[in-house]
Chain A
């Protein structure tokens, strides 16, 4: 169960009473985004937001929803191909951000001869590989354990819509995120989506109207902070307009 404790500002020391108390003493406390550990046992916030804890996972982090996307390992992202060098593509995740690389051979069953040739400014759905803060993050379009694409790869057609970072997290979190709008729309419409943690959703609905309606509906849910009932009302309105 996750619980939200209090609102913190950068530099605030997190009191021990606000930390999760794990039933298993061998399980180490996990610090998520927005917290840093100053040895020996001080935990300080680095960004402003709501302090959130999960007792079962023995984890605590700060929930916030503003600013630029920060790449983090194993995140799913939608990247734009900016240039191609000898063995890899250079991609951007957010405008003006430092580039990331995507090796030419990081696609399903790609060899030097069969690798996909992507035009500049096209979109790929990829996963971020582990990296250190001093190196350029690397992307991949295959699952390293199976070698299969698993839905990753070039995105053809469709349209991308900007959403907030929290909305992207919620969409990827499934039922916990409380976003039902896509399921509700899917009862009547046929479309394909890909959600990038970098605050982008790609929608392909076969024609302009459907793509646009689905994308706008997600943006509307994000902007208005709609609950389930609000989303239902929105979907009804969208479907009536078709």
Chain B
């Protein structure tokens, strides 16, 4: 595969000069996200996120397997992030680039290890059967901000996903298909969201949601993951520039505002989708309660 294309010197200098003059090429203020768009597929658990020109699709799938022998009461949850040449010809299948490794590590820390998903609720019969949940992340178009967009996509897809209903009788379990029984939403404990800050001028200038050109010029980045309650799940810093502790605190304050906004946005989109699916009030009809 060809090497990743590098930005020209003229562009690099121009972007830096513009930032010193407090101008971003797309005219955004320093602490603003690009336009965020979220759509759901016909199936449960598919979220399509567009952040400016970046586009990421997350898909959740579930199957029944045996749990790990040392975690008998837990289901399994894994996230895979494989880049394809669709986003950039320099991505080679089966040979992860640095960006890919960083992305999968951050998502692992941000979503899996922060306990966003209640894995115990995925257990069917302790030690014998459990749901294995898998999140696939497809990068369709790449214009920077992959970490932020991917995290939003996975969290939205998890909230949208419905797992099949099960009935347990002693040692045997029956899995009902979507047609037989209304599937069940996952039990999600909190909604972590990533916000990436790009650093310039040895940490004096801080950008939220840098695009690809800005990312190529940056000296370092700080990724903060937190939920809307202000609980920080992880902080990561990459790149050479040193960052003052106060700057990190400031980042966290900015991130909280962003996280609140994004969480609300996801919620409103989910409600919109639920309303669309419930056209004609089918759910009300299926309910066993009688109107008196």
In the bound complex, how far is the Cα of B7 from the Cα of A211, in angstroms? Answer: 18
Interface residues on B, range: 10 to 19
Known A92-B5, A96-B5: A208·B18 in contact at CB below 8 Å:
yes
Known A96-B2, A96-B89: A212·B18 in contact at CB below 8 Å:
yes
Q: Which residue of B lies closest to A158 (CB)?
A: B10
What DSSP secondary structure best describes chain B's contact surface?
loop
A181-219 at interface with B (beta carbon < 8 Å): 202, 208-209, 211-212
Q: Interface readout for B13-52 with A: 1 if CB under 8 Å, 0 if not?
A: 1100110010101000000000000000000000000000
Among B7, B17, B89, B90, the residue within 8 A (CB) of A208 is B17
**Does A73 reach chain B (CB closer than 8 Å)?**
no
Please determine whether B23 and A157 come into contact, CB atoms closer than 8 angstroms: no
Among B8, B25, B90, the residue within 8 A (CB) of A123 is B8
Chain A residues, Cβ within 8 Å of B11: 159-160
Minimum CB–CB distance from A209 to chain B (whole Å) comes to: 7
Minimum CB–CB distance from A220 to chain B (whole Å) comes to: 12
Q: Which residue of A lies closest to B18 (CB)?
A: A208
Q: Which residue of B lies closest to A155 (CB)?
A: B10
In the bound complex, how far is the Cα of B5 from the Cα of A96, in angstroms? Answer: 6
Q: Interface readout for B201-227 with A: 1 if CB under 8 Å, 0 if not?
A: 000000000000000000000000000
Please determine whether B10 and A159 come into contact, CB atoms closer than 8 angstroms: yes
Known A96-B90, A208-B18: A157·B13 in contact at CB below 8 Å:
yes
A74-102 at interface with B (beta carbon < 8 Å): 80, 92, 95-96
**Does A224 reach chain B (CB closer than 8 Å)?**
no
Chain A residues, Cβ within 8 Å of B23: 208-209, 212
In the bound complex, how far is the Cα of B21 from the Cα of A208, in angstroms? Answer: 8
Please determine whether B14 and A158 come into contact, CB atoms closer than 8 angstroms: yes
**Does A4 reach chain B (CB closer than 8 Å)?**
no
Minimum CB–CB distance from B35 to chain A (whole Å) comes to: 15
Known A158-B14, A211-B14: A121·B21 in contact at CB below 8 Å:
no
Minimum CB–CB distance from A69 to chain B (whole Å) comes to: 14
Q: Which residue of A lies closest to B26 (CB)?
A: A216
In the bound complex, how far is the Cα of B11 from the Cα of A119, in angstroms? Answer: 14
In the bound complex, how far is the Cα of B10 from the Cα of A155, in angstroms? Answer: 8
Apart from A96-B5, A121-B7, A212-B23, 18 more pairs, CB < 8 Å: A80-B6, A80-B8, A92-B5, A95-B5, A119-B9, A121-B8, A121-B9, A122-B9, A123-B8, A157-B10, A157-B13, A157-B14, A159-B11, A159-B14, A160-B11, A202-B10, A209-B21, A212-B25
B-side residues, CB < 8 A to A, are 2, 5-14, 17-18, 21, 23, 25, 89-90
